[in-house]
């Protein structure tokens, strides 16, 4: 199973809204093969808690135009990692430090990246490359080896 066209359309709208609020490192992952509960993880980051909340507001406003409201919202008060669950897509807006620490992209490195169709000149887009995937796979393998050695 792959992400539905509707989910892809919605995540692209979320990406445009996040980009308008100067979100960094935007990426959408098709997690439909790995998770039965959602089609797409959209991840964006910001350098301050205030910016995290501004990005979240922008995404919520834009998706409201689609008649969508999050089924669940987590982390808003902290402003470090806000999760918006729209069922078909799950939006993660993280402070850049939390994004590095939790490394969601590494956990889902084997999932296809969705083209967000933002302008090529947009510096906020994280362009996934084969090297990124290889580096993530190497990191996963190293973590697995460390866990095995610890036993």
Per residue in 68-108, pLDDT (tens digit) is 999 999 998 888 999 999 999 999 999 999 999 999 999 99
Task: Please report how the helices 49-64 and 5-20 are oriented relative to each other, as an axis angle in degrees rounded to 10.
Answer: 140
Give the predicted TM-score (pTM) of the model.
Answer: 0.79
Instruction: Please give the pLDDT value at position 79.
Output: 85
Distance (Å, whole) CA 114 – CA 83: 19
Query: What's residue 131's pLDDT?
Result: 46
- CATH number for the domain formed by residue range(s) 5-150: 3.30.460.10
The pLDDT score that the predictor gives to residue 12 is: 97
Report residues of the chain scoring pLDDT below 50. Answer: 127-133, 136, 140
**Domain limits of the chain?**
5-150
């Amino acid at each position: 199973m792959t992400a539905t066209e509707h989910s892809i359309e919605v995540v692209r709208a979320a990406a445009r809204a996040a980009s308008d609020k100067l979100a960094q490192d935007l990426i959408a992952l098709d997690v439909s093969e790995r998770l039965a509960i959602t089609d797409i993880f959209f991840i964006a980051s910001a350098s301050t808690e205030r910016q995290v909340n501004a990005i979240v507001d922008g995404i919520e406003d834009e998706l409201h135009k689609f008649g969508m409201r999050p089924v669940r919202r987590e982390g808003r008060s902290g402003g470090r990692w806000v999760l918006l669950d729209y069922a078909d897509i799950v939006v993660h807006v993280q402070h850049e430090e939390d994004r590095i620490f939790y490394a969601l992209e590494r956990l889902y490195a084997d999932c296809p990246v969705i083209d967000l169709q933002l302008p090529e000149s947009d510096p906020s887009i994280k362009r996934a490359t084969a090297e990124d995937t290889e580096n993530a796979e190497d990191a996963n393998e190293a973590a697995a080896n460390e866990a095995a050695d610890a036993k």
